[in-house]
Structure formats: structure tokens, C-alpha cells
Structure 1
Amino acid sequence: MVVVIGIVGGALGFGAGWLGRLVLGAVRRGVVAPRLWCEMAVAVLWAVVAVRVATGMPWWWAGVPLLLGWVGVLLAVCDVRAYRLPDVLTLPAYPVALVFIAVAALHRPGVWAGAAGGLLLFGGVYAVVRLISPAALGPGDVKLAGVLGLVVGAVAVGAVLAVVVAAALFTLLMASWRGRGAVPHGPAALLPAWLVTAFAPWV
């Protein structure tokens, strides 16, 4: 049964990724994504979430990793292809994330406090780095950090620090591997944030 649920989740994710690829090519400052990049990536992430729901993840939380998986793939592809995180994707993620957090708050007290703390911590750290060294982070990274802070902080404020550190390490590793040239930071922040939301230790 779990396998079937995972396959269904993957199929739905493939469709969502296909739609996302179309959106990415149509929105302002979007990019033309290679065929199947978005489809396969979202399919894998949504299949994992489906399996997690089948094995104990509360239904009221599933929307968070599904959202982050979908928009995260689109943003990661855009950042890798064009070194930018467009507002048309990052800004609408705020109200949608807030809706999902509101649903979670009905079932788990303290979620709002964690989300607010995460927003201030993640967004604040990135804003300070941006002010000190504008070349280190783009404005899109700062806007994305606020969304990631909301959803990761809803799990645990301490997890926000772990994601910030992981994102910095991933970016440094990528920079050392690539050598010279710009390095997209979005994927390095999105992956650990999604892992936290997908494997949140909800009882």
C-alpha cells in the first residue's frame, strides 16, 4: 500500500512539475527549463512526501513540503540556469506558506511562534549578509530566506540555524568544485530546508 501511495504521489508530482516548467517559461524573468528537469525532480520529492504521509506524517503538515518541493524545484532550476530567484515565485510563496502554517497551528500549539522566530532569524541573517557583502547574496536569496524561515521555524527554530549552516557549507563546496564564476545559492538553501519539512519529527 505504501508503494502504491508513493507511486501516486510521484505521478501527481510529475504533473505538477510539468505545469511548473510551463509556468517557469511563461513568467516574467523566468527561464526555459530543460525537458523533464522539473517533472522528475518534483515527482521524486512528492513521492517521498506521499510515503511519509502513509507512514505517519500528519496530513495537516503535508502541504508544507509539497509546496516547498514544487516551488523549490522551480526556483532551483531558475537559479542554476540564470542566477536569479524571481519575485513572481518567491513572493506568492509567503501567503501560501502562511495558510499551511495556520492549518498546522490548529493541531500543534507553538507553530506560529516558531514560524515567526524562523522568519526573523533566517531572513535577518541573510539581510545582514546582504548589507555587509552585496556580492555574497542576491536580493532574491534574502526574500527566499524569509519563506524558508517560516516553514523551517515552524518545525523548530533551532533547525533554522542548521539549515543556514548547511546552505553556507553547500555553497562553499560548490564554489570550490566549480572554481571561478558565480555560484547559485538558492539550491543550497532549498534542499536542507525541504529535508527538515519533509522529515519533521511530528509525533
Structure 2
Amino acid sequence: MLFVICVASAVVSAVVAAALTRPMRALAGSRSRWLRSGLHVLLAAAGGFGAPYLALGWADLTTFLALAVACALLIPIDLAVFRLPDAIVLPLYPLTAVGLTVTAATFDAWGSLGRAAAGAAVLLAFYFVLALINPAGLGLGDVKLAGVLGAFLGWLGWPAVLAGTLAAFVLNAAVALVLLAARRVTVKSGIAFGPAMILGAVLGAAYWAVRSTALAG
């Protein structure tokens, strides 16, 4: 049954992402190949497939699916124009808050809700400080996205927050080294950090899922 739900979630996420292709390109204001590759549809499908493994009920599943689609749009936009639009990021705050609050009320998971709020605050503050220290490396879009990802990872657990955050920086460093070695960028070139943050959060969630399964077994 879970597999069927995963497939259905993947299909729904992919269809929604595909339907948002034109608005995504208009919002980015670019005709970059990243926005014409269909990458966002594949990413949304992947995120949609994994979401049911993390969900307790329909409220948080719907929230995770919305996050999956939004992040699938943000990755190619950031790769194309080095920007994470507020029009996508900011609505994720109330959406996540409502979805997780409903889930907390349904499953008496108030501790998880408090941890999600704390995770959002911690990553928001952490990335804000980093942006102040190195504004060329991190933008306010990254800071705003950090709060959303912090809430998502915090809902799962502090190990997910730590793993997801570390994974983001490791992934970004690895990509930078590869691009430098290939002479595609220089040490002064900007590299979109949003994709690493999102993929890092995915790895953090996967780590939490594997860890929880191992502990339960």
C-alpha cells in the first residue's frame, strides 16, 4: 500500500511541476537550458515518491509534497539565475506551519512541532550570520530557504538537521572542486548554493529514515 501511495505522490508532484513550467520560466526571467530541461519535473517526482516514507498522515504528506514541488522549481531557477524567488520561498512558511500544526494536533506530536520551529530558527540565524560574513557566497534567498528546510528537518529530528546542514556544505564544496578542476569556474565565480541546501536536506531526511529504521529494528 505504501508503495502505491509513493507512486501516486510521485505522479501528482510531477504533473503539478510540469503545469508550473511556464510560470517558473516567467518568474526566473530567463531562457536558460536549466529551465527547459525538464529537470524540475524529475526532481518533483523523486521528492514526491519519497515523501510518504516521512509522513504520519495526510496533512504532513501534503506539506512535504508542496515542499518537493517548490524545491524542484527552485533548483533550476537558482542554477539559471542565481536567485531563489520570494514568490516561491515565502509562502512555504505558512504552508509548512499549518501542515505541521494540523499533524501535531492529529497525532499529539507537539514535541516535533516545537523542534520544527526551533530548527527553522536555528538554521535561519546560522545562515543569516554566514550571509553577513560572506555576502558574496550566500544571499538572502539562501537565508530564507534555510528557515523552511530547518522546519522540515527539525520536524524529523536534530540528527536530520545536523546531517542535512553538513551535507549541504559538503555537496557545495565537492561541486566547486569539480568545476574548478574542469575550469568551468574560477575561485571568484559564484556557485548557486540553493541546490546543495535542498539536496543536503534530502540526504538529512534519508539519514533520519535509515537511522529510525535501524533503531526500531
TM-score, normalising length: structure 2: 0.81
Shift of 1:129: 0.6
Distance 2:100 2:2 in 1: 26
Gap change, CA 1:46 and 1:21, over 3 Å in 2: same
| Equivalent residue, structure 1, for 2:16 | 16
Contact 1:69–1:194 (Cα < 8 Å) also in 2: no
Distance 2:166 2:134 in 1: 17
Q: Which secondary structure does the structure 1 equivalent of 2:132 belong to?
A: helix
Deviations 1:109-132, CA, capped at 9 Å, x for gaps: 212220121012111110111111
Distance 2:43 2:123 in 1: 25
Q: Which amino acid aligns with 1:23?
A: P
| Equivalent residue, structure 1, for 2:91 | 92
Q: Which secondary structure does the structure 2 equivalent of 1:183 belong to?
A: coil
Match of 1:190 among 169, 189, 198: 198
Q: Which amino acid aligns with 1:143?
A: K
| Structure number with higher relative contact order (C-alpha < 8 Å, ≥ 6 residues apart) | 1
Distance 1:9 1:20 in 2: 17
Higher mean Cα deviation, 184-193 or 34-43? Answer: 34-43
Shift of 1:195: 4.3
Q: Which amino acid aligns with 2:119?
A: G
Gap change, CA 1:26 and 1:151, over 3 Å in 2: same
Distance 1:139 1:127 in 2: 8
| Equivalent residue, structure 1, for 2:183 | none
| Equivalent residue, structure 2, for 1:58 | 56
Q: Which amino acid aligns with 1:186?
A: G
Gap change, CA 1:63 and 1:135, over 3 Å in 2: same
1:149 and 2:147 correspond: no
Q: Which secondary structure does the structure 2 equivalent of 1:137 belong to?
A: coil
1:43 and 2:45 correspond: yes
Gap change, CA 1:105 and 1:3, over 3 Å in 2: closer
Q: Which secondary structure does the structure 2 equivalent of 1:46 belong to?
A: helix
Matches within 5 A, 1:54-203: 57-59=55-57, 60-106=59-105, 107=107, 108-179=109-180, 180=186, 181-197=189-205, 200=209, 201=212
Q: Which amino acid aligns with 1:172?
A: A
Q: Which secondary structure does the structure 2 equivalent of 1:135 belong to?
A: coil
Q: Would you say how many aligned residue pairs link Structure 1 and Structure 2?
A: 198
Shift of 1:157: 2.9
Distance 2:4 2:164 in 1: 31
Contact 1:61–1:104 (Cα < 8 Å) also in 2: yes
Distance 1:169 1:96 in 2: 29
Deviations 1:28-50, CA, capped at 9 Å, x for gaps: x4545214222222122212335
Shift of 1:135: 1.1
Q: Which amino acid aligns with 1:39?
A: V
Distance 1:152 1:31 in 2: 31
Distance 2:173 2:80 in 1: 19
Q: Which amino acid aligns with 1:58?
A: L
